[in-house]
Structure 1
Amino acid sequence: MLVLCSHLFDATGTHTLLETLIHRWCSHPGVHKALQGVGGGVRFPRESNRLIELPEDYSTLINQASNFLCPRSGGDKSRAPTLCLVCGCLLCSQSYCCQTEVGGEDVGACTAHTFTCGAGMGLFLRVRESQVLFVAGKTKGCFYPPPYLDDYGETDQGLKRGNPLHLCAERYRKIERLWRQHGIAEVIGHAQEANQTLVAIDWQHL
């Protein structure tokens, strides 16, 4: 290997050696197949990761969540069904029934899910509250305006007004850009600086 490297960087022998290597690589059968599209070669550019597709009508999500059963409570319906926006998994959030141990500490379903789905970073939609939840690790998080609006262009966090809600593609793309550009942690930091009550929330139990 050392001999090969010395030849590669030797001005007197570089031309001949590289020419031989290039000729061998180009004449390899695997290269010919890849250039002809045979054998499932890697294609570039690679498509960027995306968040899951959400239904246009929010009532579709409500119906889906109403049929979601807690996986650990013997068939009872979940009190706080929460949708992972990265993989589409429905979780039983903010409930002791689905707590699990991560790093020697009991954490909620959403926090545990972030370590298997997003390397400790999570984006969730709390369906019954129409509220987006950002989580970073076990101790940091914040709430974020949902991508669903009523006919007046307003959100209805907590579903208190009861107006029909529809997906705002622009708002959802903004959330997706934050996720793609690794901006979730920054949003959480700014939110907790502006609102100290967020710091006191036990995010690990969600």
Structure 2
Amino acid sequence: TNTVVVSDARDAVSYPCGRRQLQELLLPFVRVAALLRHHLFGGSLPEIQAPRQEFVRLVYYLELVTDGMEWSAWSAARALPAGAAAAARCWARELGAAAARGQLVVRRILRGLHADWAAPALLALPRDYDRLFTYYHERVCLQCGAVPKEASVCLLCGTLVCLKQNCCRQHQVAEAVRHAMECGGGTGIFLVVTSTYIIVIRGRRACLWGSLYLDDYDEEDRDLKRGKPLYLSQDRLELLQAQWLAHRFDHTKRTWVWHRDSL
């Protein structure tokens, strides 16, 4: 990668407001572009020792700027191609004209600007299991309109599915398996409301992961037979989410079975 020349007084340098805002708006795109280059073409990502250096390091990594320079001479505008300013002004004029006409799409675009980026996360769950059970008890399935016998909640999007039932089967594929394909690209994580257990679907296999809700003694209550109050285990939730984000289910569970499209 190219070497960036940075002066020792870099922390004392203050950008004009417009340039600083430009850098902040470009940073999310530059991050994604750098990750794409890293995964597509290999090579190590640049080492970033301070947040102030992130944009500069990534711009050099992407070869948007190739000449080294002092930090005092650096500007985020240097990462833009020739003609970018004119193109941006033209786009802004067209956007303003469309907004003046009251187009709904433009309003949605403007509302979506400056959106905060967040890492993928599973569904936020209540601490008390009673609240979860009460919320989904007697709730009907949107596919068949009936109350599921084994109501299961997708922890990726919150959809209620009929687990192991024929009512929502399409083309010989049960609803949970089909939903895993549509929602998670073949991976589905479902909380069975009537038993507190987590079922993980990976392609044509499935397994019982365990329960996220434990009693005061950190014990599970499968099928709710003991009737004790259950509370969300934050450690288990973080473990489940970490395995999902890292695609590690295949390496951490040994009790996989063939679901035969029947879940």
How far 1:115 moved relative to its partner?
1.1
- How high is the TM-score relative to the length of structure 1? 0.71
Pair 1:56-2:111 in alignment? no
Query: In 2, distance between residues paired with 1:47 and 1:100?
Result: 35
For 1:173, the equivalent position in structure 2 comes to 238
Pair 1:93-2:172 in alignment? no
Query: In 2, distance between residues paired with 1:155 and 1:113?
Result: 27
Residues 206 and 259 of structure 2 are in contact (CA less than 8 Å); yes or no, is this contact kept in structure 1?
A: no
How far 1:187 moved relative to its partner?
3.5
Pair 1:147-2:212 in alignment? yes
Query: In 1, distance between residues paired with 2:142 and 2:124?
Result: 24
| 1:177–1:42 distance in 2 versus 1, CA, 3 Å | farther
Aligned residue for 1:28, secondary structure, equals: helix
How far 1:45 moved relative to its partner?
8.7
For 1:185, the equivalent position in structure 2 comes to 250
| Larger relative contact order (CA 8 Å, sep ≥ 6) | 1
Residues 141 and 203 of structure 1 are in contact (CA less than 8 Å); yes or no, is this contact kept in structure 2?
A: no
Q: 2:137 aligns with which of 66, 73, 77?
A: 66
Q: Which amino acid aligns with 2:138?
A: N
Aligned residue for 1:100, secondary structure, equals: coil
Aligned residue for 1:186, secondary structure, equals: helix
Matches within 5 A, 1:11-90: 22-25=81-84, 27-28=85-86, 30=88, 46-71=117-142, 75-90=145-160
Aligned residue for 2:130, secondary structure, equals: helix
How far 1:100 moved relative to its partner?
1.4
For 1:7, the equivalent position in structure 2 comes to none
Aligned residue for 1:107, secondary structure, equals: coil
| 1:22–1:127 distance in 2 versus 1, CA, 3 Å | closer
For the aligned residues, what is the CA RMSD? 3.2
Query: In 1, distance between residues paired with 2:81 and 2:182?
Result: 43
Gaps of 5+ in 2: 1-65, 68-77, 93-108
The worse-fitting range, judged by mean Cα deviation, of 152-161 and 41-50 is 41-50
Query: In 2, distance between residues paired with 1:109 and 1:158?
Result: 22
Residues 82 and 124 of structure 1 are in contact (CA less than 8 Å); yes or no, is this contact kept in structure 2?
A: yes
Query: In 1, distance between residues paired with 2:260 and 2:134?
Result: 27
Gaps of 5+ in 1: 1-13, 193-198
Residues 80 and 128 of structure 1 are in contact (CA less than 8 Å); yes or no, is this contact kept in structure 2?
A: yes
Q: Which amino acid aligns with 1:80?
A: E
How far 1:99 moved relative to its partner?
1.0
How far 1:58 moved relative to its partner?
0.5
Query: In 2, distance between residues paired with 1:186 and 1:152?
Result: 28
How far 1:78 moved relative to its partner?
1.4
How far 1:65 moved relative to its partner?
2.3
Indicate the percent of aligned positions where both proteins have the same amino acid. Answer: 30
Residues 135 and 203 of structure 1 are in contact (CA less than 8 Å); yes or no, is this contact kept in structure 2?
A: no
| 1:123–1:72 distance in 2 versus 1, CA, 3 Å | closer
Greater percentage in strand: 1
Query: In 2, distance between residues paired with 1:109 and 1:22?
Result: 49
How far 1:134 moved relative to its partner?
0.4
Query: In 1, distance between residues paired with 2:156 and 2:141?
Result: 20
Q: 1:134 aligns with which of 197, 200, 206?
A: 200
- How high is the TM-score relative to the length of structure 2? 0.57
Residues 129 and 229 of structure 2 are in contact (CA less than 8 Å); yes or no, is this contact kept in structure 1?
A: yes
Greater percentage in helix: 2
Q: 1:111 aligns with which of 152, 177, 190?
A: 177
Q: Which amino acid aligns with 1:191?
A: T
